[in-house]
Chains A and B, each alone.
Chain A
Amino acid sequence: MSITAADTIAVLLTLIVLSRAFGDNPIYRAVQSVFIGTSLGVAFVITWHTALAPAARQVITGAPDAQLAYAIPLALGLLLFARLWPGTWLSGLANLPLALVFGVAGGLAVSGALLGSLVPQILNLTGIDGAGAPSPIGYIGIIVTVLVLIGFSASVADDRPAGSAISRLGAVGRWCMVVAFGGLFAAGLQSYSVALLERVRLIIDWLTRLAG
């Protein structure tokens, strides 16, 4: 199997990124900038070709109903440019599309979290939905969730018995969070181990092919 220029460039870039282990250096920074710029450039091109350009095409050459359907979002988007004149009455026009964006996003997030995450998981953990038998782990999960929520209570009077008890429960909740973060970190360690192994395997394969 022959060595392509793309393989060689990939190996060189990988070696430069791995050189960061020996300290920061200008070549690493240059490659980092190349990666960030490439990622942003790809995102822009994809957004233009799959979202912006088709919409603009529909507004210009589409059917009347399509023109109307795309013209309204276009007009709302153009209203965002009113923020270029702060302190004037024009600036207030940008509140209309912003309110629409935040309102829709907030509505989707709240309804989705309640109907798609919180309620189904509680029903499933407790076995109320009938999909499975209630398990002790499910109830433990609910208790831990409550403890973590208590851990975020910042205005508790410690000098009272009830406040002191809530503070202790909150401390337990914070320790549960520490354990959870430890689990997340361990899972991330496994993910990045896979990525590192794949890169090193790429270099070894390239060297093997280079040696013939």
Chain B
Amino acid sequence: MTRDPQPADEPLPPWLRDASIEPDDDAPAPDAAPVRPNSATTALRDLIARTPNRPAAAGDAEVPIWLQNLLDTPDPAEHAAAPPPAADDADLATTPSAGGDQPAEVSAAEPAAPGTTRQLESRSAGAVTDLPIVEAGPVDPAILASIATPALTGGRYTPVQIQAIERLRAITAQSADMSETDDDDDVPQRTWRITIEQVLSVLVLVLVIAAVGLPMLSAPFRHTLPAGAASSVSDGIAALGAGDVVLLAYEWDARRTAELAPIERAMLDQLAERGVGLVLFSSDPQGVLPQFAAQEYLAASGDQPAPNPVVALGYRPGGSAALALLARTFPQLVAEAAPDGMVRSGSDTPIAALGDLSAIIVFADDPADVQGWMEQVYPGIARAATPIPLTLVVTADASVMAAPYARQPGVTLLAGPLAAASYQAARGDADDAQPLAAVRLVTLGLGVVLAMLALTASITAVMRRRSTP
């Protein structure tokens, strides 16, 4: 919105308000060529000049100030017809601030009078910078209507004036249309679009619910669980006794409870049955939560035949550095955590080195955790006089990166829900294959959904390519 050059409380003078002008006989016809470029100032001059009862001088008291200023400015036609400026001012007259590349109307409003050019420059810059900053907003329809129908009723106008009025009306009408369109855009769309992703998500959800609630659906995916590594680990734990100590590393967080908790609980049960001493450790701060849960679980199962001592080393910061420190200073760490020396090796002497352990079991959900244990701890225990078995219990997504380490001597890898089911089956737990069958069914369903998504995307891409010329 811009400020109206004519103040609202300063109406037109009576001699101009009642002007009734005959068509200008001297004005060229619209189709007469060429027409000299005319300006609003020139048109107003013509209008006033042909007014019958106009004042004698522009300085008359009935002439408003805005009109006096307008009349004081020289006519661009006269300015164009004036002789060229003096050589001293020639360069200044062609500067942009002097109106060199501005329209004729603007150039006429700021005449480049000799000797005052620099003053005009500063005034011109000041006029621009002093303009009030008004934020754009919706246009009031009443204002648009008043602009579209200017108060020039009852008169006759030159073709240029008529052309200007028509153009002004077209601009205001277009602006009004755009304003209405913007208002329509502001209205929130209430239509609900169902995307293919949402449909497929619902399908997956229905499939998961069916796999859990209807076991007969996943029955075809029940297979005989392989014994393999899980069975050997179970046999190894079964061979331990009350004098043995096992280190359990909790390198997983609560998000992987569904995948790692079943096999962890099965191992804890077996270790508790054998009365094995346990040392709990974590180099992942989130791993402390399942470590606490394991302590509570072991405390709750206090009716075991031989209650086993448990020492929690807690969280050790530093990642690989913490593991390297553990490999070097394990006895000191245990002594700090259990000052009464409750953790003892098979010969009933305090643990003096990592090699005194009977086994190490690492629960991990990140390949980097497995890598850290294999790089910082495993070389030390592999060089021990009696190699310590190291069992890596990892999630399915970490198993791909952890698989090469399983070829090292003394290392066993148990990965994913299959390993958990196999371990539970090796211990003789009933109906352990049902969750695994459900996992297989859901995984197959997710694979089908992903294939459908890929197919849909491919068809869409081909159709778009064909429609593009």
Chain A residues proximal to chain B, CB less than 8 Å:
18, 21-23, 39, 42-43, 46-47, 50-51, 104-105, 108-109, 112-113, 115-117, 120-121, 124-125, 131-132, 141, 180, 183-184, 187-191, 193-201, 204
* 30 A–B contacts from the bound complex (CB under 8 Å): A46-B285, A46-B315, A50-B288, A50-B315, A104-B321, A105-B319, A105-B320, A109-B320, A112-B375, A115-B375, A116-B375, A116-B379, A120-B408, A187-B396, A189-B450, A190-B396, A190-B397, A190-B416, A191-B256, A194-B416, A194-B417, A195-B259, A196-B208, A197-B208, A197-B435, A197-B439, A199-B258, A200-B212, A204-B209, A204-B213
B285 to chain A minimum Cβ distance, whole angstroms, is 4
Question: Does the CB pair A125–B407 fall under 8 Å?
Answer: yes
Question: Does the CB pair A105–B258 fall under 8 Å?
Answer: no
Given contacts A108-B320, A112-B375, contact A21 B198 (CB under 8 A): yes
Query: Which of A46, A121, A188 gathers the greatest number of chain B CB atoms within 10 Å?
Result: A46
- CB-CB under 8 A from B400, the residues of chain A are 180, 183-184, 187
Contact of A115 among B321, B379, B446 (CB under 8 A): B379
Q: Which residues from 349 to 387 on chain B have a C-beta closer than 8 Å to any C-beta of chain A? A: 371-372, 374-376, 378-379
Q: Which residues from 323 to 350 on chain B have a C-beta closer than 8 Å to any C-beta of chain A? A: 324
A179 to chain B minimum Cβ distance, whole angstroms, is 11
Contact residues of A: prevailing secondary structure = helix
Q: Which residues from 83 to 127 on chain B have a C-beta closer than 8 Å to any C-beta of chain A? A: none
Query: Which of A18, A187, A188 gathers the greatest number of chain B CB atoms within 10 Å?
Result: A187
Question: Does the CB pair A190–B439 fall under 8 Å?
Answer: yes
A138 to chain B minimum Cβ distance, whole angstroms, is 8
Expressed in whole angstroms, the Cα–Cα distance for A204 and B209 within the complex equals 8
A13 to chain B minimum Cβ distance, whole angstroms, is 13
- CB-CB under 8 A from B212, the residues of chain A are 197, 200-201, 204
Residue B314 is within 8 A (CB to CB) of chain A in the complex? yes
Residue B443 is within 8 A (CB to CB) of chain A in the complex? yes
Question: Does the CB pair B407–A124 fall under 8 Å?
Answer: yes
| In the complex, per-residue mask of B415-429: 1 if CB is within 8 Å of any chain A CB, else 0 | 011000000000000
Closest to A35 in B: B255
Residue B196 is within 8 A (CB to CB) of chain A in the complex? no
Q: Which residues from 432 to 446 on chain B have a C-beta closer than 8 Å to any C-beta of chain A? A: 435, 438-439, 442-443, 446
B391 to chain A minimum Cβ distance, whole angstroms, is 17
Question: Does the CB pair A39–B286 fall under 8 Å?
Answer: yes
Closest to B315 in A: A50
Residue B447 is within 8 A (CB to CB) of chain A in the complex? yes
Given contacts A190-B443, A191-B396, A194-B417, 5 further A-B contacts (CB under 8 A): A47-B317, A112-B371, A121-B404, A121-B407, A141-B404
Expressed in whole angstroms, the Cα–Cα distance for A125 and B257 within the complex equals 34
Expressed in whole angstroms, the Cα–Cα distance for A121 and B379 within the complex equals 13
Closest to A125 in B: B407
Closest to A196 in B: B208
Expressed in whole angstroms, the Cα–Cα distance for A132 and B406 within the complex equals 12
- CB-CB under 8 A from B314, the residues of chain A are 46, 50
Residue B211 is within 8 A (CB to CB) of chain A in the complex? yes
Contact of A196 among B321, B399, B408, B442 (CB under 8 A): B442
Expressed in whole angstroms, the Cα–Cα distance for A77 and B141 within the complex equals 67
Question: Does the CB pair B408–A124 fall under 8 Å?
Answer: yes
- Give the top 10 A-B pairs by smallest Cβ distance, nearest first: A116-B375, A112-B375, A198-B258, A21-B201, A188-B397, A190-B396, A191-B397, A43-B285, A50-B314, A50-B315
Residue B289 is within 8 A (CB to CB) of chain A in the complex? yes
- CB-CB under 8 A from A183, the residues of chain B are 400
Expressed in whole angstroms, the Cα–Cα distance for A183 and B367 within the complex equals 14
Question: Does the CB pair B375–A47 fall under 8 Å?
Answer: no
Query: Which of A190, A198, A204 gathers the greatest number of chain B CB atoms within 10 Å?
Result: A190
Expressed in whole angstroms, the Cα–Cα distance for A194 and B421 within the complex equals 12
Expressed in whole angstroms, the Cα–Cα distance for A166 and B400 within the complex equals 28
Contact of A194 among B258, B320, B398, B408 (CB under 8 A): B258
Contact of B255 among A23, A195, A197 (CB under 8 A): A195
| In the complex, per-residue mask of B439-463: 1 if CB is within 8 Å of any chain A CB, else 0 | 1001100110010000000000000
Given contacts A189-B443, A189-B446, contact A47 B258 (CB under 8 A): no
Contact of B256 among A141, A195, A197 (CB under 8 A): A195
Residue B11 is within 8 A (CB to CB) of chain A in the complex? no
Expressed in whole angstroms, the Cα–Cα distance for A108 and B371 within the complex equals 12
Expressed in whole angstroms, the Cα–Cα distance for A11 and B91 within the complex equals 81
Expressed in whole angstroms, the Cα–Cα distance for A124 and B378 within the complex equals 15
